[in-house]
Structure 1
Amino acid sequence: MAKWRIIGVFALLVIGAGWHITKPAPLPSDALDGLTGDPVNGELVFAAAGCASCHTSEDGPPTLLSGGRTFASDFGTFVAPNISSDPEHGVGAWSDLALASAIMRGVGADGEHLYPAFPYTSYHKAELGDIVDLIAYLRTLPPSDEPNAPNDLAFPFNQRIALGPWKFLFVNSDWVLQDAATPELMRGRYLVEALGHCTECHTPRNALGGLDTARWMGGAPHPSDEGRIPNITTAALSWSERDIAEYLKSGFTPDFDSAGGEMAEVVKNTGQLTDDDRAAIAAYLKAIPPVAE
């Protein structure tokens, strides 16, 4: 009897420790103390982070964040939520702290885990000041009363409790490019690995949906099973840094082709960045290890 009591106590301790490690962890209550949002810089962060690409309707203006776009995946279909300033259907009633916790920690206003279809797995590397600036800019955008639609996920993927262990396994604050020896490379790393979340599409995933960092930016199957997202390491992309920067500005390739599909949406965002930022992204892509096709 004593043996089973010991086993029971041990099991409870393991479960308790697991819950403590994997429970939703919003930002501390004082995380934003002393920070004042700058909507001018926030507009640049908005473009770098690609917010409009997911949270606007396909035929809507780029500042009406009404949500509704669908994203197919191996785990079901996710629907982008309304993140406009509407207090009922959007996030207008959320505090700045709640919004920052959602963006950087993947924790909703009610304390629930958010699905990583929202790329907080990259955004958590962002500077808190940039996120506060982004929120200040979001506050200036028009409201939308478009109701949110539910995700279409099968069991067990519709159980948010599983996201705690997933975050524990796959949300990592370490930079993949460890040796960013120049300010340009540091900026490029920040734009690609954090704000731009380029890796969320261009890096393959393991069976649990975590990024395979050993094949960083080495291309991946398209989530909709239509084609493949390209390898953009030097093993497959021979463009010069100037070619890459021009593509991110205009959408034109060195062969006079133009960006299409989702990448056309990305270029709308990167085209709003500075020439220096686009050059930094190009330098980063030349610095990461090549991944064989």
Structure 2
Amino acid sequence: MLAGRLLRRPTALAALVVLLLVVLAAVLAPSLAPVLPNRMDIAHRLAPPGGHHPLGSDDFGRDVLSRLLYGARLSLGVGALTVALATSLGLALGLVAGYVKRLDAALMRFTDALMAFPDILLAIALMAGLGPSMLNVVLALGIVYTPRVARVVRGATLVLRELPFVEAARAMGASDLRIMAAHLLPNLVSALIVQGTFIFGSAILTEAALSFLGTGVPPTTPTWGNMMAGAQQYMGQADWLILAPGLAIVLVVLSLQMLGDGLRDALDPKLQRLM
């Protein structure tokens, strides 16, 4: 069982616990947050941690803890939606490219063209054309990370399509669509899960970078990236403004990377035989 194999990897298990706690805090944000995230308290602007503001307040007197909790909802939401979009598009491209030989070259040149640009530059270019909004951030990041999934799926499909069970299905008259859906796709799930955890973390980082640069989610929306963007001019006098979202991003992204490494090891049949 996958759960049992993860239990034998303390780092992956610890990362999973941390992520579950962060997700739980995001879900319960309305109950855990002291006040609404955009409620201003000008009389206590830039207040240090303590009292009515456990993690301090920002330059508008907004509670940092409340914005951190509500920001977790949006930042994690962007990451999850990006994974769903990139996985769906990448799976379709990779399956078709790996199984239909005549389309392989054209589809792979398209993905190569996308991968020729650094992730952040391609995301900025897409956001410049789409405009700042959460939906457009998800769309842009989905496009940015689609080639990663497509490459992984194509490589696995090239191997799987030559195996005996695929040849047997083809000999029995199964259509190409049925072979891809019923025989190839189930064997790609483990690779997609691992790839999804890495994309999740990368999407959170890239969303924060876009918001920090002013090309992501609108500044009035509480996300971890927007919190860091608003804190940059107060780093000398109110370091808690950037420490809270910065540590949250580091904790979540590091946990996702550790969980991805654990899942990769747990789902690798070669490593399973060695254990």
Does the TM-score normalized on the shorter chain lie above 0.5?
no
More helix by share: 2
Kindly name which structure, 1 or 2, has the bigger radius of gyration based on alpha carbons: 2
Structure number with the higher strand fraction is 1
When the two structures are superposed, what TM-score results if normalisation uses the length of structure 1? 0.27
> Which structure's relative contact order is higher, taking Cα pairs within 8 Å and 6+ residues apart?
2
